[in-house]
Structure 1
Amino acid sequence: MSKGKDKEPSISLEDCLADFSKANEDVVREALSSNRDLRVFSDKVKKELTTAHREAVEGCIKNAEQLTDLYNQINSCDQVFERLEKTLIGFQNDLGTISDDMKRLQDQSVLIKQELENRQKVRNDLSQFVDDIVVPQTMIKVIMEGDVSDRTFLEQLHELQHKLHFVKAQEFKEARAVEDVQPVLESLKFKAIEKIREWILTKIYMFRKPLSNYQVPQHQLLKYRFFYEFLLANERNIAKEIQAEYVDTIGKMFFSYFKVYISRLFKLMMTDAASKDDLLGVEDTVKHTGLTGLFSSKPQVRNRATVFSLGSRQNLLTHDFISPLIVPHAAKESNQKFQFETLFRSIHLALVDHSSHEFLFVADFFLFSGQAAINFHSKVMSRAIDQLLKDLEQRIALNFDAISLYLCIRLCDKFRNLLIEREIPPMDEYWETICNQLWIRFDQVMKMHNDSVNALDVRKMQTPVDTRPHYIIRRYAELTCAFLVVSECSGKELGKKIEAILETSEDAMEQLLLRMSATLPQQKDRLVFLINNYDLILSIIDDRVVQDNRIHSIIHELNQKAIGEFVEATLSPHFSALFSFVTECEPLVNQGHAQMLSRYNDKLTQIVGSFNGTWKKSIDAVNAEIIKSFTNFKNGTNILQAAFSQLIQYVQRFTKIISHEAFHNNASRNEMVNIHHIMVEIKKYKPVY
């Protein structure tokens, strides 16, 4: 036993502590607190375990049959699990084969899908091909029997055009199906061309009806613009025939329209229009009209006011520019009469409107663009334009109204700009031609005016010349002002042409004024005549013209020159001695000739004495003379101011001269009236005007 005990493994302290840490705390606590002998307790436990083992063995012996059955059942279960394991291993092997099958099926599915897509694509292409190439019965019936104006015909025509394009494209691919449908499509094409040609020509012939609104059939043609496009794509010869017929018909229509319109319009022209006798240099003559004139005590005088004055005629270039056209029969019923430029405006507004509408139509319907559209439009309008140029040339050649001619020139510029704003061909050649006619006639009329002025014999005039403004000068002023106002309203500068003409006219008028003034006996009256007439011209121009111009500058310089001479002539009778003294002595003072100046002491005494005694009366006389001389109070005020200013300047110069040492001993130098006293006296005359 001792040997056995010696063989028992020794338990280390760590193992005991580890077992102790795993023990139930309550049990350990109870064991420690009970103060029992552990060896006794250990023997007790061994006995209990032995007893429990014996009881277990006895229980097993008692239940040996049940245990045998349990063992057999366990063996049976082991066999079942073994077979299940084999089955699962078979399933596992089968699943590996299925994965390969699924991959193979997936590859087959992709192939089948691609084949399906290819077949569907072929089916769609083949279906589309069949739809594009097959000619349905509906199309045949509509094209062969349908009305061209019907919307269905237009739809089927679009479809036919598509099929024609498709068949033509398939011919290059050698598609055999084309041979089956091509004869049918060709027959339909020729039938459609025949019906379209007849329909379009019928619409074009509607333009030939008198008093018809040609824009109505044009609007119908635009709705079926594809008809012409079909002809252009399939039968160019017929398309060209349509173009030629349109040009011929519309050309004749516009030709007739403008020919009749001009004829009727000029019947409304004012009967009191300017004639060859209404010239600047022609005197107003008294004329008697019939029996009334024989027994009338008041002779009738030809009124040329409308020939030379502008009035409100410039409005034609502004807010009246695009006013409605003149309707001849309506104007005739209301007894309206018009001036040449108003008729000219109405004619060309009609031309611009019709030309604009026509260009837009031919570009839209005939599918033109760029230069081709411009050329075709020119063909359409050529006959009407030629007729306009011919008729207007005759009318312009009979126009003696210079204002009217110049207004028409400016109207041409306005109409050309209007076409450019509308993005329509501006017809430059036409405007250049008509402007050239107007300029030539304008130059001729102005030459007639200038010749009449140059040929006027001032010694044989019915009305004697006096110092007042002359009515011929008023005519010139009104006429010149009219040209300047028209230029301003047109928004353009005068230009070299009109400036040259106006300068020529001004030169003729200047020479006339000099000839007229020469008939007056007194030099002072001549100057008054020139100043009054120059002032009349400037006043009329200033009243209406805003922009600076050369004519105004020329007249202003002539006026200032005449005023200077008049002031000198007016002051000289009263202050000639003083003026002569200043004129003679001033150079001597500047040159320092004291000895020569001393010779003027006696003359200085006389001048101071005379001036002191008469200067007030002289100023009053100058004032009275200027009041009587000038009809324009404003002009008279300016001249009086110029006269007094010149007098003050002479007095100042005189005062400066007598302060020289050569006159130091002359007592009269201190007796000279103070210049400030003279200026105070002069200011009294300003309120008169």
Structure 2
Amino acid sequence: AESKLSKFVEDIIVPPRMIDIIVDGEVNDEYMKTLEILSKKIKFIEADSMVKTSKALKDVQPEVERLRQKAVSKIFEFIIQKFYALRKPKTNIQILQQSVLKYKYTIVFLKEHAKEIYAEVRTAYIDTMNKVLSAHFRAYIQALEKLQLDIATSTDLLGVETRSTGYLFSIGKEPLKARSSVFALGERINVLKDIEQPALIPHISEAKSQKYPYEVLFRSLQKLLIDTATSEYLFSDDFFGEESLFQDIFAGPIQVVDEYFDAVLLNCYDAIGIMLMIRIIHQHQLIMFKRRIPCLDSYLDKVNMSLWPRFKMVFDLHLSSLRNANIKTLWEDDVHPHYVTRRYAEFTASLVHLNVEYGDGQLDLNLERLRMAIEDLLVKLAKMFPKPKMQTVFLINNYDLTIAILKVGTFELASVTIQNTICIAFPNLL
């Protein structure tokens, strides 16, 4: 009985030192420990029926309640100030968040003993981070826009004659820009090799007068997004114990990114760039899966779902340009390989290369449609030559170039695919 009484007194009594710390102390490690003791006393008073009927409670309860209110007030002010510090320009958000984590028991205390105040703190954090991150991404996007290198326009199509593309000095030969970027993958494949690299720092690139195809900017923006999302998701879960906060916080940043991306995609006629973006999103999905962070699953799925229809639309423009090509304006009295053939071969090699590790059957079917269209076009162009021998030489030269480019462009990665492509490509002459 004596030990029970001793325990009862210990649980209910409020030492002067405890009062001093809660009322006048700074929020630090000692304050956290004292909060835990206060929490236990509050729970003891609320849970024990003997306490509620004891005379001692009448003396102690008002003091405990006063301390609870004081603690709640001090915690609220302390945490809100920490959150507002996040709004200061050039603040390293992750470092500040890490410094706040050691105070996470304050959140536990509010959840248990001041639910309304906790709701206010929660709302304040969501509002702060939503605005801060939205502003960050808006500023980053504005900086990225200055670095964009335009690759393709709506007239950069396989079957469009060089004279109608609007390039200066392009009559009679393929413009360098179109040959090197619009139809050929070339060094653009490096964006997939750099998938894990940090996001671009725009002002450094701008100082060096560097420009990039859109997929490079896309990778950089998406990398910043998945890294920021990962950090925010983990912090929200750790500090608040609520994963659900993330969706409210990131609604703003995702809207900012979406609006920019939708506007770019609406005017994008770069099929290779779009396919690279599809592969980038796939790689980012794998990264998030390995991190075991599910918070962007629906977002990444949505981006992927918006990229495929655009790719199909641009691809069909290329296909139509071959099917509806103006034979008279395309034809040149020259048996050397036609520039449209080079475009087709480079374009096909690029897409085959990007499909090697994915085996997308729909893309294979589209490439088959494209092959049939170029074959029909070459036969029509060949018929423009008056002599049968010239027709045959023209076709052989064009088929030879096609096979050579396909082998060079993708043989190492897709020997089986290329063998099949070559074997069925042009049955008329092979």
1:251-273 deviation line (CA, Å, top 9, x unaligned): 111111111111210210125x2
Aligned to 2:48, the other structure's residue is in SS state: helix
Q: Name which of structure 1's ranges 231-240 and 520-529 shifts more when overlaid on structure 2.
A: 520-529
Aligned to 1:214: 93
> Distance between the aligned counterparts of 1:553 and 1:274, measured in 2?
30
Aligned to 1:202: 81
Taking a change above 3 Å as real, the CA distance of residues 542 and 426 of structure 1, as seen in their structure-2 partners, is farther
Aligned to 2:186, the other structure's residue is in SS state: coil
Q: Is the 8 A contact 2:278 2:304 kept in 1?
A: yes
Aligned to 2:350, the other structure's residue is in SS state: helix
Aligned to 1:508: 373
Task: Give the alignment's TM-score, normalised by structure 2.
Answer: 0.92
Q: CA deviation at 1:140?
A: 0.6
Q: CA deviation at 1:483?
A: 1.0
Q: Is the 8 A contact 1:484 1:494 kept in 2?
A: no
Identify which of 410, 424, 428 aligns with 1:557: 424
Aligned to 2:211, the other structure's residue is in SS state: coil
Aligned to 1:249, the other structure's residue is in SS state: helix
Q: Name which of structure 1's ranges 532-541 and 229-238 shifts more when overlaid on structure 2.
A: 532-541
Q: Is the 8 A contact 1:252 1:383 kept in 2?
A: yes
Q: Is the 8 A contact 2:337 2:401 kept in 1?
A: yes
Aligned to 2:344: 476
Aligned to 2:284: 415
Aligned to 1:304, the other structure's residue is in SS state: helix
* AA matched with 1:392: F
Aligned to 2:361: 495
Taking a change above 3 Å as real, the CA distance of residues 383 and 287 of structure 1, as seen in their structure-2 partners, is closer
> Distance between the aligned counterparts of 1:391 and 1:161, measured in 2?
48
> Distance between the aligned counterparts of 1:456 and 1:507, measured in 2?
14
Instruction: Determine whether 1:388 maps to 2:272.
Output: no
Structure 1 unmatched runs, 5+: 1-121, 564-689
Aligned to 2:208: 334
1:306-353 deviation line (CA, Å, top 9, x unaligned): 1111112222223x1111211111111111111110000000000000
Taking a change above 3 Å as real, the CA distance of residues 172 and 397 of structure 1, as seen in their structure-2 partners, is farther
Q: Name which of structure 1's ranges 260-269 and 533-542 shifts more when overlaid on structure 2.
A: 533-542
Alignment of 1:206-355 (within 5 A): 206-271=85-150, 273-285=151-163, 301=175, 303-305=177-179, 306-318=181-193, 320-355=194-229
Aligned to 1:350, the other structure's residue is in SS state: helix
Alignment of 1:127-146 (within 5 A): 127-146=6-25
1:33-82 deviation line (CA, Å, top 9, x unaligned): xxxxxxxxxxxxxxxxxxxxxxxxxxxxxxxxxxxxxxxxxxxxxxxxxx
Taking a change above 3 Å as real, the CA distance of residues 554 and 457 of structure 1, as seen in their structure-2 partners, is same
Alignment of 1:576-615 (within 5 A): none
Taking a change above 3 Å as real, the CA distance of residues 552 and 278 of structure 1, as seen in their structure-2 partners, is farther
Is the helix fraction higher in 1 or 2? 1
Higher relative contact order (CA 8 A, sep 6+): 2
CA RMSD for the aligned pairs? 2.3
Aligned to 1:651: none
Aligned to 1:326, the other structure's residue is in SS state: coil
Identify which of 275, 291, 294 aligns with 1:406: 275
Taking a change above 3 Å as real, the CA distance of residues 462 and 521 of structure 1, as seen in their structure-2 partners, is closer
> Distance between the aligned counterparts of 1:280 and 1:355, measured in 2?
40
Taking a change above 3 Å as real, the CA distance of residues 288 and 458 of structure 1, as seen in their structure-2 partners, is closer
> Distance between the aligned counterparts of 1:261 and 1:384, measured in 2?
11
Q: CA deviation at 1:302?
A: 5.3
Instruction: Determine whether 1:547 maps to 2:422.
Output: no
> Distance between the aligned counterparts of 1:421 and 1:510, measured in 2?
44
> Distance between the aligned counterparts of 1:168 and 1:347, measured in 2?
51
Taking a change above 3 Å as real, the CA distance of residues 288 and 191 of structure 1, as seen in their structure-2 partners, is closer
* AA matched with 2:250: M
Aligned to 1:157: 35
1:378-437 deviation line (CA, Å, top 9, x unaligned): 111111112211110101112221111100011111111111110101523212322222
Taking a change above 3 Å as real, the CA distance of residues 507 and 299 of structure 1, as seen in their structure-2 partners, is closer
1:614-658 deviation line (CA, Å, top 9, x unaligned): xxxxxxxxxxxxxxxxxxxxxxxxxxxxxxxxxxxxxxxxxxxxx
Q: Is the 8 A contact 2:162 2:173 kept in 1?
A: no
* AA matched with 1:523: P
> Distance between the aligned counterparts of 1:165 and 1:301, measured in 2?
78
Number of matched residues?
Answer: 423
When Rg is computed on C-alpha atoms for both structures, the one with the higher figure is 1
Aligned to 1:379: 248
State the percentage of identical aligned residues: 33
> Distance between the aligned counterparts of 1:280 and 1:217, measured in 2?
53
Task: Give the alignment's TM-score, normalised by structure 1.
Answer: 0.58
* AA matched with 2:5: L
